[in-house]
Chains A and B, each alone.
Chain A
């Protein structure tokens, strides 16, 4: 088959390999400029609290300290990462004004002549915080008794709301993303078996070997060049433009080789701070995260909880599925509502289920914000769906291959979201997979096809 293609099926050398083996690949940490300053953050010691006082006077006196940056220095402090694709409302400060919402949140930034001085001065900044009870668990966060950490009055994202948080006329916002088709309650009543399952996925840190590093260099005329460890230069450009109140065309983002990202370098989660600092001092500023910051501050894969109730017929079909998905966004929105939509619309997996009711919640807690990681949303639901398939098959007393073959999408069926299925290949893929794995299946399964 590979003869038909010029690339598919042929080994192609990674163009960067020669650089890698000779040590000449350039990563951001190699980038420095004359007169460059270094930055460190003063971070919140508590997961939630009111900022009562920030006293920078002692730190400012330390020789070598150039400037301490606080929320006042940010032209347009409150933003949301995904504004470019219409996800709002803006809920995250570049630097917090009056409250902190996760442990390690950067409260202010110290710019100094070298990294050591910046770190020392950061320790000298006195921050007085009145600790508030944090919300750390998703189920707790949704209870009416939970402390509310979001300005709109609940610890869940409002789907259907506009960028300003207001819901559009004729389209009420909801604290959940809902997928509904058929009559799931009837299916559950008529089922021969109902099988429940609950699945928890913990937050996972990407842990690239290269930590986050960024250099921002002011250029003449309100312009700025940003060198950063990013997987998403345009997110960086747009968000920096928003918070600095300058046109995106004034910002040039340079993304050299990235030393591993895995989604952890998709969010512009530190470039905005470096950009503000560089604009304030008028000199290049570099911020290099420590391994500890990489683990405790940078985004993680979200913690996700998925609950299923499957209605099964004794001849091995899934008649209906009721599901509830909780997705831990952490303290701020970032890309999570998008992740929730992606996961919720896919809770059927690659299987035909005529009656469904799926609820997806984007929940806020006082934890480090979560975001992209290697197909986030998708990985979580496939893990839960496939484990549930095993559980269902066990209850029915049939082989789980048989159960999957029977319920796999056929072309011509309609998905939970109303899409006409015209690209189903699961049965064919499973046949190839069993052949490779040396599993032998009964003939009646091998005769099945996605076209009938």
Chain B
């Protein structure tokens, strides 16, 4: 089937199989580098994208589902080289070691803060429950996020 959607503000059109996941289409067909494969089963969060502003596991989303929708990745956040607050906070807090989990983390936080600019720790941990990091340890990540939360 042929689908058409907006990817980071650009419209794209691509032929996909009914069984093909969004992750595979983004990575293997459209060459999107910032979306990562970690588990393929919704356990790690490395593949998260925003679909119409809501965080979704692209490994569990069929490509056909995004027809007519808006898909955003972390690559579109910075404007003219200017990092967003949350990106800056990750850099300042050294919150990414290998970086494989980072795009998913940043997108989750972005979606959370859009809905709720001052989440409690509990709400924050809840939002991050589906994002695994094996390198950094969660403390620098949490510190980075806390630093941008308006309390």
**A residues with CB within 8 A of B:** 11, 13-14, 16-27, 29-30, 32, 206-211, 257-260, 262, 288, 290-291
Contact = CB atoms under 8 A, between A and B. Distances in A.
Interface residues of B, number: 38
B99 A19 contact: yes
Task: Identify the interface centre among B28, B77, B90, B132: most chain A CB within 10 Å of its CB.
Answer: B28
A29 B37 contact: yes
B27 A209 contact: no
Nearest to A207: B134
B12 interface: no
Tell me the dominant secondary structure on chain A's binding face: loop
Contact of A291 (B34, B39, B74, B106): B39
A371 B132 CA distance: 24
B101 to A, nearest CB: 5
A259 B83 contact: no
Interface stretch (B40-48, B50-58, B61-69, B114-122): B40-48
Given A30-B31, A209-B101, A210-B36, A260 B73 contact: no
A27 B96 contact: no
A206 B36 CA distance: 18
Nearest to A14: B94
Contacts of A17: 90-91, 94, 96, 99
Contacts of A290: 40
A20 B102 contact: yes
B133 interface: yes
Nearest to B86: A21
Contacts of B139: none
Given A209-B134, A259-B100, A24 B33 contact: yes
A34 B90 CA distance: 36
A210 B36 CA distance: 8
A259 B36 contact: yes
Contact of B133 (A23, A26, A30, A209): A209
A257 B27 CA distance: 17
A260 B87 contact: no
B11 interface: no
B73 A23 contact: yes
Contacts of A288: 37
A291 B31 contact: no
Given A24-B75, A25-B99, A291 B41 contact: yes
